[in-house]
């Protein structure tokens, strides 16, 4: 699959697959095309060339019903994109009613079930502004889940959060993975990738430089570019491990 914006080729021949229930983590430097890749899978961007298939349906086929295809794919963004004027329950029920045509009773039941799943059963009446970033992100996840997706895409779901809120969101992702959800997660959380991902894909300059089992790609990368990137992510500039104390 390829994607260009004008004559800027952003994705230059990506060939990836995920089996049902797989968790694929996508890592790579800023500008490498991670978001564009996810946006293509959800048809928020139309690939310039190539095909994308979800659960046996080629969603890039011009004859495919794009709205129906999109409904099978949930997406969660770095910024939560909740409706500020609706309470949590409203955020979860509106898309179900509008897009899936569910009646209110059905939509509310599904919403409550998914709020419980992300640990927010008691916040249904809160407005987004009354919630922490981590809670807002969990609401966004519950909203996506309420649409009954077969695949969930996460684009840096914890990057906008204060460090102490990251864990709650990752716990939800971990649980979803455990429940067998097929997931693609763009993340800089290497410990999470290593623990939860079946596969890690390292993207750089619009190509897959390296992919494989998480423990191998994160723990023992083959390519110099991957090693370089991991060094920078794991040891950001300015944060140096102190030298060992001199022995007396
Ligand atoms: N709508 C667009 N029009 C033109 N260029 C775009 C568009 N979207 C993305 N790009 C370009 O595509 C390249 C890849 O962008 P993308 O957002 O996919 O990178 P990324 O890996 O997600 O980066 P980051 O880690 O900063 O989120 C960048 O050079 C970006 O400027
Ligand atoms: Mg991005």
Q: What CA–CA distance (Å, rounded) separates 218 from 194?
A: 7
Q: What percent of the chain has pLDDT over 70?
A: 96
> Residue 191 CA to chain centroid, in angstroms?
16
In 88-149, alpha helices (H)? 88-100, 104-117, 133-145
The contacts of residue 74 (CB under 8 Å, 6+ apart) are: 144, 145, 147, 149, 151, 152, 153
Atom 17 of ligand 1, residue of closest alpha carbon: 35
Tens of pLDDT along 103-139? 999 999 999 999 999 999 999 999 999 999 999 999 9
pLDDT of residue 56: 84
DSSP strand pairing (199-204 vs 207-213): antiparallel
Q: Which two tokens stand for residue 232?
A: 């920078």
DSSP strand pairing (151-155 vs 182-186): parallel
C-alpha of residue 110 to centroid of ligand 2, in Å: 30
Question: In terms of pTM, does the model score above 0.85?
Answer: yes
- Cβ of 3 closer than 6 Å to ligand 1, yes or no, is no
Q: What percent of the chain has pLDDT over 90?
A: 85
pLDDT of residue 14: 92
pLDDT of residue 175: 96
Range 179-203 average pLDDT: 95
∠ CA(202), CA(204), CA(205), 5° rounding? 155
- Cβ of 206 closer than 6 Å to ligand 1, yes or no, is no
């Amino acid at each position: 699959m390829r994607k260009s914006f004008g004559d800027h080729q952003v994705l230059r021949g990506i060939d990836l697959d995920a089996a049902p229930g797989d968790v694929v983590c996508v890592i790579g430097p800023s500008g490498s095309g991670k978001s564009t890749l996810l946006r293509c899978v959800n048809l928020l961007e139309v690939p310039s060339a190539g095909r994308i298939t979800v659960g046996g349906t080629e969603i890039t086929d011009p004859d495919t019903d794009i709205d129906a295809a999109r409904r099978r794919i949930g997406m969660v963004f770095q910024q939560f994109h909740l409706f500020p004027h609706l309470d949590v329950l409203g955020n979860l029920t509106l898309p179900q009613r509008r897009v899936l045509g569910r009646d209110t009773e059905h939509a509310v039941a599904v919403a409550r079930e998914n709020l419980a799943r992300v640990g927010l059963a008691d916040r249904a009446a809160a407005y987004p502004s009354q919630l922490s970033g981590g809670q807002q992100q969990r609401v966004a996840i519950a909203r996506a889940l309420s649409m009954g997706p077969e695949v969930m895409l996460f684009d840096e779901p914890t990057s906008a959060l204060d460090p102490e809120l990251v864990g709650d969101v990752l716990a939800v992702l971990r649980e979803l993975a455990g429940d067998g959800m097929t997931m693609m997660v763009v993340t800089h959380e290497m410990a999470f990738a290593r623990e939860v991902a079946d596969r890690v894909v390292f993207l750089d300059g619009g190509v897959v430089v390296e992919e494989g089992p998480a423990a191998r790609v994160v723990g023992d990368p083959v390519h110099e570019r991957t090693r370089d990137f991991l060094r920078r992510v794991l040891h950001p500039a300015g944060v140096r491990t102190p030298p060992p104390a001199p022995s007396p």
